[in-house]
Structure 1
């Protein structure tokens, strides 16, 4: 159950943003093996000056359509992560016209004891999940 934070530059309509979130969620379920309805997404829109996403020497130029995905997640295999990156990028490109170079990911692994979904409980540890 990743917590997915999505950062974009302001200027896109609600339909575009909803589709972006849906695509990322569908790919998450398919590639990372998360259960259906296990959806925790937070989308934040920024002024252009608030997102300084440079290329780290790779020659990647970003546009106003840059998207940064940050997922806090249980450990995943390298293969699953690579499939997630590739499929999200391909679908965003095909369905929303987002350049592949404009999509960046950062996954932060954590453990079962790092989650509480409510009521001050650690549901992975107490057997509720």
Structure 2
């Protein structure tokens, strides 16, 4: 059950933001075997004064359209699945809404199964 946070500069359309949600969900379904309707995502938008990034950090030329994608998930995936997820996210978000590969920064945060509660104060996966 991934929990996904996207941060970006303000000013994009609703369709643009929905395409990000759709692409991320599809990538997770295809590479992480995320079940149907397992969609827990949020986008936060920031004005330029509240959004900072390294324009050339790591030898990658980023534009002001950079997005930060942080996915919290259980520590059950292989390195190959993680690499496939990163590739697929970049492919799908490149197609729609048209984000450059250089402008997609992804961070995967993993935790143990017992660290999740889906509601009701229960540790469903423990």
Task: List structure 1 runs of 4+ shifted beyond 4 angstroms.
Answer: none
- Counterpart for residue 79 of structure 1: 80
Give the alignment's TM-score, normalised by structure 2: 0.92
Gaps spanning 5+ residues in structure 1: where? none
Q: Distance in 2 between matches of 1:57 and 1:121?
A: 41
Maintained 8 Å contact 1:7/1:44: yes
> How far apart are 1:34 and its partner, in Å?
1.2
Alignment root-mean-square deviation, CA = 1.4
Residues in 1 aligned to 2:91 and 2:41: alpha-carbon distance in whole angstroms:
20
CA distance in 1, matches of 2:98, 2:22: 15
Aligned length: 125
Give me the whole-angstrom Cα distance separating, in 1, the residues matched to 2:98 and 2:107. Answer: 22
Whether 1:5 and 2:11 are equivalent positions in the alignment is no
Flag the 1:95–1:66 CA change in 2: closer, same or farther, 3 A.
Answer: same
- Structure 2: gaps (5+ residues): none
